[in-house]
Chain A
Amino acid sequence: MIFNSIPFVLFFSLFFALYWWVFPKNRKAQNILLLLGSYFFYAWTDWKLLGFIIAVSALNFYLGLKIQQATVDHTKRWLSYIGLTQGIGGLLFCKYYNFFSNSFNELFQALGLQILWPTLSIIAPLGISFFTFRTISYILDVRNGKTKAVDDGVVFFSYVAFFPSLLSGPIDKARTLVPQLEKNRHFEYASAVDGLRQILWGLFKKVVIANNCALITQDVFTHYQELPASSLLIAMLLYPFQIYADFSGYSDMAIGMARLLGFEITKNFDFPYFSQNIAEFWRKWHMSLTSWFTEYVFTPLSIYFRDWDNKGLFLAVLINFTVVGIWHGANWTYILFGFLNGLYFVPLIIKGTMNKKKKWHKNGSLTGLEFFNILKTFGLVTVTFVIFKSESVTQAFDFYRCLIDKSLFKVPVLHGISMLFLLGLLSYIAFFMGMEWQAKNKNHALDFLENKMNVWARKTLYLFLAFVIFYFSSMVTNQDFIYIQF
Protein backbone atom coordinates (compact mmCIF):
# COMPACT_ATOMS: atom_id res chain seq x y z
CA MET A 1 0.00 0.00 0.00
CA ILE A 2 1.63 3.25 -0.97
CA PHE A 3 0.52 6.49 0.61
CA ASN A 4 -0.88 8.14 -2.49
CA SER A 5 -3.36 5.41 -3.31
CA ILE A 6 -7.08 5.03 -2.69
CA PRO A 7 -6.76 1.90 -0.48
CA PHE A 8 -4.36 3.71 1.79
CA VAL A 9 -6.57 6.76 2.13
CA LEU A 10 -9.46 4.52 3.13
CA PHE A 11 -7.27 2.54 5.51
CA PHE A 12 -5.90 5.63 7.16
CA SER A 13 -9.25 7.36 7.52
CA LEU A 14 -10.73 4.32 9.20
CA PHE A 15 -7.66 3.93 11.35
CA PHE A 16 -7.74 7.57 12.37
CA ALA A 17 -11.38 7.34 13.41
CA LEU A 18 -10.87 4.18 15.46
CA TYR A 19 -7.74 5.57 17.03
CA TRP A 20 -9.22 8.79 18.32
CA TRP A 21 -12.91 7.97 18.73
CA VAL A 22 -13.16 4.39 19.73
CA PHE A 23 -10.10 4.29 21.93
CA PRO A 24 -9.53 7.85 23.05
CA LYS A 25 -7.19 8.22 25.98
CA ASN A 26 -6.70 4.49 26.14
CA ARG A 27 -3.01 4.08 25.46
CA LYS A 28 -3.00 0.29 25.59
CA ALA A 29 -5.84 -0.08 23.11
CA GLN A 30 -4.32 2.54 20.82
CA ASN A 31 -1.02 0.70 20.82
CA ILE A 32 -2.68 -2.59 19.99
CA LEU A 33 -4.57 -0.88 17.19
CA LEU A 34 -1.31 0.65 15.98
CA LEU A 35 0.31 -2.74 15.92
CA LEU A 36 -2.56 -4.45 14.13
CA GLY A 37 -2.83 -1.55 11.71
CA SER A 38 0.90 -1.72 10.99
CA TYR A 39 0.74 -5.44 10.34
CA PHE A 40 -2.30 -5.02 8.13
CA PHE A 41 -0.47 -2.28 6.24
CA TYR A 42 2.57 -4.51 5.84
CA ALA A 43 0.57 -7.59 4.92
CA TRP A 44 -1.27 -5.67 2.21
CA THR A 45 1.97 -5.38 0.23
CA ASP A 46 3.82 -8.43 1.46
CA TRP A 47 1.80 -10.84 3.60
CA LYS A 48 4.19 -13.72 3.10
CA LEU A 49 6.93 -11.96 4.98
CA LEU A 50 4.82 -10.71 7.86
CA GLY A 51 6.11 -13.67 9.86
CA PHE A 52 9.65 -12.42 9.34
CA ILE A 53 9.04 -9.03 10.88
CA ILE A 54 7.18 -10.62 13.80
CA ALA A 55 10.03 -13.06 14.43
CA VAL A 56 12.62 -10.30 14.23
CA SER A 57 10.65 -8.20 16.69
CA ALA A 58 10.24 -11.11 19.09
CA LEU A 59 13.92 -11.96 19.06
CA ASN A 60 15.07 -8.41 19.64
CA PHE A 61 12.43 -7.83 22.31
CA TYR A 62 13.73 -10.84 24.20
CA LEU A 63 17.38 -9.88 23.71
CA GLY A 64 16.74 -6.34 24.94
CA LEU A 65 15.31 -7.64 28.21
CA LYS A 66 18.07 -10.18 28.64
CA ILE A 67 20.82 -7.66 27.96
CA GLN A 68 19.37 -5.38 30.59
CA GLN A 69 19.07 -8.17 33.14
CA ALA A 70 22.61 -9.41 32.55
CA THR A 71 24.98 -8.33 35.27
CA VAL A 72 28.19 -9.27 33.56
CA ASP A 73 29.55 -7.12 30.77
CA HIS A 74 30.60 -10.21 28.91
CA THR A 75 27.06 -11.61 28.77
CA LYS A 76 25.69 -8.27 27.63
CA ARG A 77 28.19 -8.23 24.82
CA TRP A 78 27.38 -11.74 23.64
CA LEU A 79 23.65 -11.16 23.74
CA SER A 80 24.06 -7.99 21.72
CA TYR A 81 26.12 -9.92 19.17
CA ILE A 82 23.17 -12.23 18.62
CA GLY A 83 21.00 -9.21 17.86
CA LEU A 84 23.60 -7.70 15.56
CA THR A 85 24.15 -11.00 13.78
CA GLN A 86 20.44 -11.34 13.16
CA GLY A 87 20.13 -7.73 11.96
CA ILE A 88 23.23 -7.44 9.83
CA GLY A 89 23.04 -11.08 8.82
CA GLY A 90 19.42 -10.74 7.73
CA LEU A 91 20.28 -7.69 5.67
CA LEU A 92 23.34 -9.29 4.14
CA PHE A 93 21.49 -12.45 3.30
CA CYS A 94 18.30 -10.91 1.91
CA LYS A 95 19.80 -8.02 0.04
CA TYR A 96 23.41 -8.77 -0.65
CA TYR A 97 23.82 -12.54 -0.90
CA ASN A 98 23.48 -12.72 -4.66
CA PHE A 99 25.60 -9.66 -5.15
CA PHE A 100 28.44 -11.24 -3.22
CA SER A 101 28.14 -14.61 -4.86
CA ASN A 102 28.04 -13.00 -8.31
CA SER A 103 31.07 -10.90 -7.46
CA PHE A 104 32.90 -13.95 -6.15
CA ASN A 105 32.05 -15.91 -9.27
CA GLU A 106 33.39 -13.11 -11.45
CA LEU A 107 36.52 -13.02 -9.36
CA PHE A 108 36.96 -16.79 -9.57
CA GLN A 109 36.43 -16.65 -13.29
CA ALA A 110 39.01 -13.91 -13.65
CA LEU A 111 41.42 -16.04 -11.69
CA GLY A 112 40.64 -18.99 -13.90
CA LEU A 113 39.05 -21.00 -11.11
CA GLN A 114 36.16 -23.31 -11.82
CA ILE A 115 34.15 -22.61 -8.72
CA LEU A 116 30.55 -21.63 -8.96
CA TRP A 117 29.03 -20.09 -5.89
CA PRO A 118 25.29 -20.71 -6.02
CA THR A 119 22.90 -17.78 -6.36
CA LEU A 120 19.48 -17.98 -4.75
CA SER A 121 16.18 -16.40 -5.53
CA ILE A 122 15.55 -14.42 -2.39
CA ILE A 123 12.70 -12.03 -1.79
CA ALA A 124 13.90 -9.29 0.48
CA PRO A 125 11.15 -8.30 2.90
CA LEU A 126 9.96 -4.79 2.11
CA GLY A 127 11.41 -2.13 4.36
CA ILE A 128 14.00 -4.53 5.78
CA SER A 129 16.74 -1.89 5.62
CA PHE A 130 14.58 0.44 7.64
CA PHE A 131 13.22 -1.79 10.37
CA THR A 132 16.51 -3.64 10.80
CA PHE A 133 18.20 -0.34 11.56
CA ARG A 134 15.63 0.28 14.27
CA THR A 135 16.31 -3.03 15.97
CA ILE A 136 20.09 -2.65 15.71
CA SER A 137 20.04 0.80 17.26
CA TYR A 138 17.80 -0.55 20.02
CA ILE A 139 20.14 -3.42 20.88
CA LEU A 140 23.22 -1.17 20.88
CA ASP A 141 21.52 1.50 22.96
CA VAL A 142 20.34 -1.01 25.54
CA ARG A 143 23.80 -2.48 25.73
CA ASN A 144 25.44 0.92 26.14
CA GLY A 145 22.87 2.00 28.70
CA LYS A 146 21.54 4.79 26.49
CA THR A 147 18.02 3.50 26.68
CA LYS A 148 16.13 1.11 28.93
CA ALA A 149 14.90 -2.18 27.56
CA VAL A 150 11.21 -2.09 26.65
CA ASP A 151 9.16 -4.44 28.82
CA ASP A 152 5.84 -3.91 27.06
CA GLY A 153 5.67 -6.25 24.09
CA VAL A 154 3.01 -4.26 22.26
CA VAL A 155 5.13 -1.12 22.54
CA PHE A 156 8.22 -2.79 21.19
CA PHE A 157 6.48 -4.60 18.34
CA SER A 158 4.77 -1.36 17.35
CA TYR A 159 8.10 0.44 17.46
CA VAL A 160 9.57 -1.99 14.94
CA ALA A 161 6.53 -1.95 12.66
CA PHE A 162 5.30 1.65 13.10
CA PHE A 163 3.47 1.92 9.78
CA PRO A 164 4.01 5.53 8.77
CA SER A 165 7.76 4.97 8.63
CA LEU A 166 7.85 1.19 8.17
CA LEU A 167 8.60 0.96 4.48
CA SER A 168 10.78 3.96 3.82
CA GLY A 169 11.76 5.72 7.05
CA PRO A 170 12.51 8.04 8.76
CA ILE A 171 14.49 5.62 10.90
CA ASP A 172 13.60 6.47 14.47
CA LYS A 173 15.85 5.35 17.25
CA ALA A 174 14.19 3.60 20.15
CA ARG A 175 14.98 6.44 22.50
CA THR A 176 12.93 8.91 20.48
CA LEU A 177 9.95 6.76 19.47
CA VAL A 178 9.49 4.30 22.34
CA PRO A 179 8.86 6.96 25.03
CA GLN A 180 6.10 8.34 22.82
CA LEU A 181 4.51 4.91 22.60
CA GLU A 182 4.73 4.59 26.35
CA LYS A 183 2.90 7.75 27.22
CA ASN A 184 -0.61 8.94 26.56
CA ARG A 185 -1.16 10.83 23.37
CA HIS A 186 -3.44 13.78 23.03
CA PHE A 187 -5.03 15.13 19.95
CA GLU A 188 -3.61 18.58 19.33
CA TYR A 189 -5.36 20.72 16.79
CA ALA A 190 -2.34 22.79 15.71
CA SER A 191 -0.10 19.79 15.35
CA ALA A 192 -2.68 17.77 13.42
CA VAL A 193 -3.36 20.64 11.04
CA ASP A 194 0.34 21.09 10.48
CA GLY A 195 0.60 17.36 9.90
CA LEU A 196 -2.01 17.63 7.15
CA ARG A 197 -0.11 20.53 5.64
CA GLN A 198 3.04 18.46 5.61
CA ILE A 199 1.21 15.58 3.93
CA LEU A 200 -0.12 17.97 1.31
CA TRP A 201 3.37 19.24 0.60
CA GLY A 202 4.74 15.71 0.53
CA LEU A 203 2.10 14.71 -2.01
CA PHE A 204 2.92 17.74 -4.11
CA LYS A 205 6.57 16.78 -4.14
CA LYS A 206 5.87 13.16 -5.00
CA VAL A 207 3.06 13.50 -7.50
CA VAL A 208 3.88 16.76 -9.22
CA ILE A 209 7.65 17.04 -9.05
CA ALA A 210 9.03 13.50 -8.75
CA ASN A 211 6.60 11.66 -11.03
CA ASN A 212 6.89 14.25 -13.79
CA CYS A 213 10.67 14.40 -13.60
CA ALA A 214 10.63 10.62 -13.83
CA LEU A 215 8.82 10.83 -17.19
CA ILE A 216 11.92 12.52 -18.56
CA THR A 217 14.77 10.96 -16.59
CA GLN A 218 13.56 7.39 -17.00
CA ASP A 219 13.54 7.65 -20.74
CA VAL A 220 16.82 9.55 -21.04
CA PHE A 221 18.73 7.24 -18.74
CA THR A 222 17.46 4.24 -20.71
CA HIS A 223 18.23 5.66 -24.17
CA TYR A 224 21.17 7.91 -23.30
CA GLN A 225 23.33 6.47 -26.03
CA GLU A 226 20.99 7.57 -28.81
CA LEU A 227 20.19 11.02 -27.46
CA PRO A 228 22.08 14.29 -27.81
CA ALA A 229 24.19 15.30 -24.81
CA SER A 230 21.84 18.21 -24.14
CA SER A 231 19.05 15.72 -23.32
CA LEU A 232 21.41 13.95 -20.95
CA LEU A 233 22.25 17.22 -19.26
CA ILE A 234 18.58 17.97 -18.70
CA ALA A 235 17.95 14.55 -17.20
CA MET A 236 21.06 14.77 -15.06
CA LEU A 237 19.93 18.11 -13.66
CA LEU A 238 16.36 16.94 -13.12
CA TYR A 239 17.26 13.73 -11.32
CA PRO A 240 18.42 15.37 -8.05
CA PHE A 241 15.07 17.14 -7.87
CA GLN A 242 13.26 13.91 -8.63
CA ILE A 243 14.97 11.84 -5.98
CA TYR A 244 14.78 14.61 -3.41
CA ALA A 245 11.10 15.24 -4.10
CA ASP A 246 10.37 11.53 -4.13
CA PHE A 247 12.09 10.62 -0.91
CA SER A 248 11.52 13.76 1.12
CA GLY A 249 7.93 13.71 -0.11
CA TYR A 250 7.51 10.26 1.36
CA SER A 251 9.16 11.39 4.60
CA ASP A 252 6.90 14.43 4.79
CA MET A 253 3.86 12.20 4.42
CA ALA A 254 5.16 9.79 7.05
CA ILE A 255 5.91 12.58 9.50
CA GLY A 256 2.59 14.27 8.82
CA MET A 257 0.70 11.02 9.36
CA ALA A 258 2.54 10.34 12.58
CA ARG A 259 1.63 13.83 13.75
CA LEU A 260 -2.03 13.14 13.02
CA LEU A 261 -1.69 10.20 15.40
CA GLY A 262 0.05 12.30 18.04
CA PHE A 263 3.66 11.31 17.34
CA GLU A 264 6.64 13.48 16.54
CA ILE A 265 9.02 11.33 14.53
CA THR A 266 12.50 12.23 13.37
CA LYS A 267 12.99 14.87 10.74
CA ASN A 268 14.56 13.41 7.63
CA PHE A 269 15.45 16.37 5.41
CA ASP A 270 16.40 19.92 6.22
CA PHE A 271 16.37 21.61 2.81
CA PRO A 272 19.61 19.91 1.71
CA TYR A 273 19.95 21.69 -1.61
CA PHE A 274 20.68 24.97 0.15
CA SER A 275 23.80 23.49 1.72
CA GLN A 276 27.05 25.30 1.22
CA ASN A 277 29.34 22.32 1.48
CA ILE A 278 29.10 18.57 1.32
CA ALA A 279 29.28 18.07 5.07
CA GLU A 280 26.31 20.34 5.51
CA PHE A 281 24.52 18.50 2.72
CA TRP A 282 24.89 15.19 4.51
CA ARG A 283 23.72 16.74 7.76
CA LYS A 284 20.54 17.71 5.94
CA TRP A 285 19.98 14.77 3.59
CA HIS A 286 18.31 11.57 4.84
CA MET A 287 19.14 12.80 8.34
CA SER A 288 17.76 9.81 10.19
CA LEU A 289 20.07 7.51 8.25
CA THR A 290 23.17 9.72 8.49
CA SER A 291 22.66 10.28 12.19
CA TRP A 292 22.31 6.52 12.61
CA PHE A 293 25.58 5.91 10.77
CA THR A 294 27.29 8.76 12.58
CA GLU A 295 26.39 7.29 15.92
CA TYR A 296 27.00 3.62 15.26
CA VAL A 297 29.65 3.61 12.56
CA PHE A 298 31.46 6.90 12.19
CA THR A 299 31.93 7.79 15.88
CA PRO A 300 33.31 4.41 16.98
CA LEU A 301 35.60 4.39 13.93
CA SER A 302 36.84 7.89 14.47
CA ILE A 303 37.52 7.14 18.11
CA TYR A 304 39.38 4.04 17.08
CA PHE A 305 41.46 5.89 14.47
CA ARG A 306 41.94 9.05 16.53
CA ASP A 307 45.69 8.80 16.92
CA TRP A 308 46.19 9.24 13.21
CA ASP A 309 44.72 12.75 13.27
CA ASN A 310 43.32 13.82 9.93
CA LYS A 311 44.26 10.58 8.28
CA GLY A 312 42.16 8.71 10.80
CA LEU A 313 39.29 11.05 10.10
CA PHE A 314 39.59 10.50 6.34
CA LEU A 315 39.50 6.80 6.85
CA ALA A 316 36.51 6.95 9.17
CA VAL A 317 34.61 9.19 6.76
CA LEU A 318 35.44 7.06 3.74
CA ILE A 319 34.42 3.83 5.43
CA ASN A 320 31.32 5.43 6.82
CA PHE A 321 30.12 6.74 3.47
CA THR A 322 31.00 3.60 1.61
CA VAL A 323 28.77 1.71 4.02
CA VAL A 324 26.07 4.36 3.61
CA GLY A 325 26.33 3.63 -0.11
CA ILE A 326 26.08 -0.12 0.37
CA TRP A 327 23.03 0.36 2.56
CA HIS A 328 21.10 1.45 -0.55
CA GLY A 329 21.56 -1.89 -2.21
CA ALA A 330 23.83 -4.51 -3.60
CA ASN A 331 25.37 -2.73 -6.53
CA TRP A 332 28.79 -1.25 -7.19
CA THR A 333 27.05 1.96 -8.21
CA TYR A 334 25.88 2.57 -4.65
CA ILE A 335 29.29 1.72 -3.26
CA LEU A 336 30.96 4.16 -5.62
CA PHE A 337 28.30 6.76 -4.84
CA GLY A 338 29.06 6.49 -1.13
CA PHE A 339 32.81 6.39 -1.62
CA LEU A 340 32.80 9.52 -3.79
CA ASN A 341 30.73 11.40 -1.28
CA GLY A 342 33.25 10.37 1.37
CA LEU A 343 36.06 11.68 -0.83
CA TYR A 344 34.28 15.01 -1.09
CA PHE A 345 34.95 15.45 2.62
CA VAL A 346 38.72 15.37 2.22
CA PRO A 347 39.25 19.03 1.31
CA LEU A 348 36.89 20.03 4.12
CA ILE A 349 38.84 18.03 6.66
CA ILE A 350 42.12 19.53 5.45
CA LYS A 351 40.74 23.07 5.57
CA GLY A 352 39.09 22.34 8.89
CA THR A 353 35.84 23.87 7.67
CA MET A 354 33.85 20.68 7.92
CA ASN A 355 31.95 21.52 11.03
CA LYS A 356 31.39 25.22 10.57
CA LYS A 357 27.63 25.42 10.64
CA LYS A 358 26.40 28.25 8.51
CA LYS A 359 23.64 30.43 9.77
CA TRP A 360 21.35 32.24 7.39
CA HIS A 361 21.39 36.02 7.49
CA LYS A 362 18.53 37.49 9.44
CA ASN A 363 17.04 39.29 6.43
CA GLY A 364 17.23 36.12 4.33
CA SER A 365 19.71 37.55 1.85
CA LEU A 366 22.50 35.59 0.25
CA THR A 367 25.99 36.75 -0.62
CA GLY A 368 27.54 35.94 -3.97
CA LEU A 369 29.94 33.51 -2.38
CA GLU A 370 27.20 31.68 -0.51
CA PHE A 371 25.19 31.37 -3.69
CA PHE A 372 28.22 30.02 -5.49
CA ASN A 373 28.80 27.50 -2.71
CA ILE A 374 25.21 26.31 -2.91
CA LEU A 375 25.54 25.78 -6.66
CA LYS A 376 28.89 24.06 -6.19
CA THR A 377 27.50 21.65 -3.61
CA PHE A 378 24.49 20.92 -5.79
CA GLY A 379 26.85 20.27 -8.70
CA LEU A 380 28.96 17.84 -6.70
CA VAL A 381 25.91 15.93 -5.55
CA THR A 382 24.40 15.92 -9.05
CA VAL A 383 27.48 14.25 -10.48
CA THR A 384 27.27 11.39 -7.99
CA PHE A 385 23.53 10.94 -8.49
CA VAL A 386 24.28 9.88 -12.07
CA ILE A 387 26.09 6.90 -10.60
CA PHE A 388 23.28 6.35 -8.12
CA LYS A 389 20.74 6.29 -10.94
CA SER A 390 22.72 4.09 -13.33
CA GLU A 391 22.31 0.35 -13.64
CA SER A 392 26.04 -0.27 -13.42
CA VAL A 393 29.26 1.64 -12.93
CA THR A 394 30.17 1.06 -16.57
CA GLN A 395 26.90 2.61 -17.61
CA ALA A 396 27.51 5.63 -15.37
CA PHE A 397 30.88 6.33 -16.93
CA ASP A 398 29.43 5.75 -20.36
CA PHE A 399 26.80 8.33 -19.49
CA TYR A 400 29.51 10.85 -18.57
CA ARG A 401 31.33 10.07 -21.77
CA CYS A 402 28.19 10.70 -23.82
CA LEU A 403 27.62 13.88 -21.86
CA ILE A 404 30.88 15.49 -22.90
CA ASP A 405 30.10 15.85 -26.56
CA LYS A 406 29.45 18.50 -29.15
CA SER A 407 25.80 17.55 -29.18
CA LEU A 408 25.57 19.40 -25.87
CA PHE A 409 24.75 22.44 -27.97
CA LYS A 410 22.09 20.71 -30.01
CA VAL A 411 18.42 21.09 -29.34
CA PRO A 412 17.56 18.45 -26.71
CA VAL A 413 15.34 15.55 -27.74
CA LEU A 414 12.91 14.30 -25.11
CA HIS A 415 10.58 11.51 -26.20
CA GLY A 416 6.92 12.27 -25.72
CA ILE A 417 7.65 15.50 -23.87
CA SER A 418 6.43 18.78 -25.27
CA MET A 419 8.26 22.05 -24.74
CA LEU A 420 5.19 23.25 -22.88
CA PHE A 421 5.36 20.31 -20.50
CA LEU A 422 9.05 20.94 -19.84
CA LEU A 423 8.44 24.62 -19.15
CA GLY A 424 5.57 23.70 -16.87
CA LEU A 425 7.72 21.24 -15.00
CA LEU A 426 10.52 23.78 -14.63
CA SER A 427 8.12 26.33 -13.22
CA TYR A 428 6.81 23.75 -10.74
CA ILE A 429 10.39 23.07 -9.68
CA ALA A 430 11.03 26.80 -9.33
CA PHE A 431 7.90 27.11 -7.19
CA PHE A 432 8.97 24.09 -5.16
CA MET A 433 12.44 25.47 -4.48
CA GLY A 434 11.08 28.97 -3.86
CA MET A 435 8.70 27.68 -1.20
CA GLU A 436 11.47 25.67 0.42
CA TRP A 437 13.77 28.68 0.43
CA GLN A 438 11.11 30.73 2.22
CA ALA A 439 10.81 28.02 4.83
CA LYS A 440 14.48 27.12 5.18
CA ASN A 441 14.47 27.65 8.94
CA LYS A 442 11.24 25.75 9.46
CA ASN A 443 10.19 22.14 9.60
CA HIS A 444 8.65 21.92 6.17
CA ALA A 445 7.82 24.18 3.26
CA LEU A 446 4.25 25.04 4.27
CA ASP A 447 5.28 25.77 7.84
CA PHE A 448 6.03 29.45 7.36
CA LEU A 449 2.67 30.46 5.95
CA GLU A 450 0.83 31.10 9.19
CA ASN A 451 2.51 34.45 9.75
CA LYS A 452 2.90 35.53 6.19
CA MET A 453 -0.43 34.96 4.52
CA ASN A 454 -4.01 35.59 5.49
CA VAL A 455 -6.50 32.78 5.79
CA TRP A 456 -7.90 33.08 2.30
CA ALA A 457 -4.59 33.33 0.55
CA ARG A 458 -3.53 30.23 2.42
CA LYS A 459 -6.68 28.36 1.55
CA THR A 460 -6.25 29.32 -2.08
CA LEU A 461 -2.74 27.94 -1.99
CA TYR A 462 -3.94 24.69 -0.44
CA LEU A 463 -6.66 24.37 -3.05
CA PHE A 464 -4.17 25.04 -5.80
CA LEU A 465 -1.81 22.40 -4.44
CA ALA A 466 -4.65 19.92 -4.00
CA PHE A 467 -5.75 20.58 -7.55
CA VAL A 468 -2.37 20.03 -9.19
CA ILE A 469 -1.93 16.90 -7.08
CA PHE A 470 -5.35 15.69 -8.23
CA TYR A 471 -4.52 16.59 -11.82
CA PHE A 472 -1.21 14.79 -11.95
CA SER A 473 -2.18 11.81 -9.87
CA SER A 474 -5.13 11.19 -12.18
CA MET A 475 -2.86 11.48 -15.16
CA VAL A 476 0.04 9.28 -14.17
CA THR A 477 -0.64 5.87 -12.77
CA ASN A 478 0.83 5.48 -9.33
CA GLN A 479 4.57 5.21 -9.33
CA ASP A 480 6.41 3.57 -6.52
CA PHE A 481 8.64 5.52 -4.24
CA ILE A 482 12.33 5.20 -5.06
CA TYR A 483 13.38 4.52 -1.50
CA ILE A 484 10.88 1.69 -0.93
CA GLN A 485 13.21 -0.62 -2.83
CA PHE A 486 16.03 -0.09 -0.33
Chain B
Amino acid sequence: MKELLAQVNEIFIDVLDNEDIVLSETTSANDVDEWDSLSHIQLIVAIERHFKIRFTSKEIQSWNNIGEMLTSIQDKLNQN
Protein backbone atom coordinates (compact mmCIF):
# COMPACT_ATOMS: atom_id res chain seq x y z
CA MET B 1 0.00 0.00 0.00
CA LYS B 2 2.85 2.40 0.92
CA GLU B 3 4.45 1.75 -2.44
CA LEU B 4 1.16 2.33 -4.25
CA LEU B 5 0.52 5.56 -2.38
CA ALA B 6 3.93 6.88 -3.37
CA GLN B 7 3.32 6.11 -7.01
CA VAL B 8 -0.14 7.69 -6.96
CA ASN B 9 1.32 10.71 -5.21
CA GLU B 10 3.82 11.10 -8.06
CA ILE B 11 0.98 10.96 -10.59
CA PHE B 12 -0.95 13.63 -8.68
CA ILE B 13 2.09 15.90 -8.60
CA ASP B 14 2.60 15.38 -12.28
CA VAL B 15 -1.01 15.85 -13.43
CA LEU B 16 -1.97 18.63 -11.07
CA ASP B 17 1.33 20.40 -11.56
CA ASN B 18 1.92 20.99 -7.86
CA GLU B 19 5.06 19.79 -6.12
CA ASP B 20 3.62 20.25 -2.65
CA ILE B 21 0.95 17.58 -2.79
CA VAL B 22 1.36 14.97 -0.05
CA LEU B 23 -1.37 12.34 -0.10
CA SER B 24 -2.47 10.04 2.67
CA GLU B 25 -5.18 7.40 2.69
CA THR B 26 -7.70 9.80 4.15
CA THR B 27 -7.06 12.60 1.66
CA SER B 28 -10.14 13.53 -0.35
CA ALA B 29 -10.86 15.97 -3.17
CA ASN B 30 -11.71 18.64 -0.62
CA ASP B 31 -8.15 18.62 0.70
CA VAL B 32 -6.36 19.23 -2.61
CA ASP B 33 -7.20 22.53 -4.25
CA GLU B 34 -6.39 21.46 -7.79
CA TRP B 35 -8.30 18.22 -7.52
CA ASP B 36 -11.72 18.97 -8.92
CA SER B 37 -14.20 17.30 -11.19
CA LEU B 38 -12.24 18.23 -14.28
CA SER B 39 -8.78 17.12 -13.14
CA HIS B 40 -10.32 14.06 -11.57
CA ILE B 41 -10.74 12.41 -14.93
CA GLN B 42 -7.20 13.29 -15.98
CA LEU B 43 -5.91 11.69 -12.79
CA ILE B 44 -7.85 8.53 -13.45
CA VAL B 45 -6.60 8.25 -17.00
CA ALA B 46 -3.03 8.77 -15.81
CA ILE B 47 -3.44 6.13 -13.08
CA GLU B 48 -5.02 3.65 -15.47
CA ARG B 49 -2.19 4.10 -17.94
CA HIS B 50 0.49 3.91 -15.29
CA PHE B 51 -0.76 0.67 -13.77
CA LYS B 52 -2.16 -0.66 -17.03
CA ILE B 53 -5.54 -1.32 -15.46
CA ARG B 54 -9.12 -0.25 -16.21
CA PHE B 55 -11.75 0.82 -13.73
CA THR B 56 -15.46 0.62 -14.18
CA SER B 57 -17.49 3.76 -14.09
CA LYS B 58 -19.13 2.61 -10.90
CA GLU B 59 -15.83 2.05 -9.16
CA ILE B 60 -14.59 5.49 -10.03
CA GLN B 61 -17.73 7.13 -8.71
CA SER B 62 -17.72 5.17 -5.49
CA TRP B 63 -14.42 6.50 -4.11
CA ASN B 64 -14.63 8.94 -1.26
CA ASN B 65 -10.89 9.24 -0.56
CA ILE B 66 -7.43 8.13 -1.66
CA GLY B 67 -7.59 5.01 0.50
CA GLU B 68 -10.62 3.66 -1.37
CA MET B 69 -8.96 4.47 -4.65
CA LEU B 70 -5.85 2.55 -3.58
CA THR B 71 -7.93 -0.47 -2.60
CA SER B 72 -9.46 -0.47 -6.06
CA ILE B 73 -6.03 -0.27 -7.68
CA GLN B 74 -4.75 -3.10 -5.45
CA ASP B 75 -7.74 -5.28 -6.38
CA LYS B 76 -7.17 -4.70 -10.08
CA LEU B 77 -3.48 -5.45 -9.82
CA ASN B 78 -4.19 -8.68 -7.94
CA GLN B 79 -6.63 -9.78 -10.62
CA ASN B 80 -4.02 -9.41 -13.33
Contact = CB atoms under 8 A, between A and B. Distances in A.
Interface of A: 144-145, 279, 283, 294-295, 298-300, 302-304, 306-307, 309, 313, 316, 352, 354-357
Given A294-B37, A304-B57, A357-B33, 5 more contacts: A144-B61, A299-B41, A306-B45, A316-B41, A355-B39
Contact of B34 (A298, A316, A355): A355
Chain B CB within 10 Å, residue with most, of A300, A307, A313, A355: A355
Contact of A299 (B17, B33, B34, B37): B37
B61 to A, nearest CB: 6
Contacts of B62: 144-145
Contacts of A295: 37
A281 to B, nearest CB: 14
Interface in B35-65: 36-41, 44-45, 48, 57-58, 60-62
A5 to B, nearest CB: 38
A306 B34 CA distance: 19
B61 A303 contact: yes
Given A144-B61, A144-B62, A303 B34 contact: no
Interface of B: 16-17, 33-34, 36-41, 44-45, 48, 57-58, 60-62
Contact of B40 (A145, A299, A356): A299
A279 B41 contact: no
Contacts of B45: 306-307, 309
Nearest to B37: A294
Nearest to A301: B41
Contact of A306 (B16, B17, B41): B41
Given A309-B45, A357-B33, A303 B60 contact: yes
Given A299-B41, A303-B41, A303-B44, A356 B61 contact: no
B38 A355 contact: yes
A309 B33 CA distance: 22
Contact of A300 (B34, B39, B48, B61): B61
A144 B60 CA distance: 11
A215 to B, nearest CB: 39
B47 to A, nearest CB: 11
Contact of A302 (B33, B34, B41, B58): B41
23 contacts: A145-B62, A279-B38, A283-B36, A294-B37, A299-B37, A299-B40, A302-B38, A302-B41, A303-B44, A306-B44, A306-B45, A306-B48, A307-B45, A313-B38, A316-B41, A354-B38, A354-B39, A355-B16, A355-B36, A355-B38, A355-B39, A356-B17, A357-B33
Contacts of B60: 303
A300 B41 contact: no
A445 B80 CA distance: 55
Contacts of A303: 41, 44, 57, 60-61
Nearest to A294: B37
A145 B57 CA distance: 14
A349 to B, nearest CB: 8
Nearest to A357: B33
A313 B40 CA distance: 11
Nearest to A279: B38
Contact of B57 (A283, A300, A316): A300
Nearest to B40: A299
B43 to A, nearest CB: 10
A357 B37 contact: no
Contacts of B41: 299, 302-303, 306, 313, 316
A119 B80 CA distance: 57
B22 to A, nearest CB: 18
A299 B61 contact: yes
Nearest to A309: B45
A357 B38 contact: no
A309 B34 CA distance: 19
Chain A CB within 10 Å, residue with most, of B38, B39, B60, B61: B38
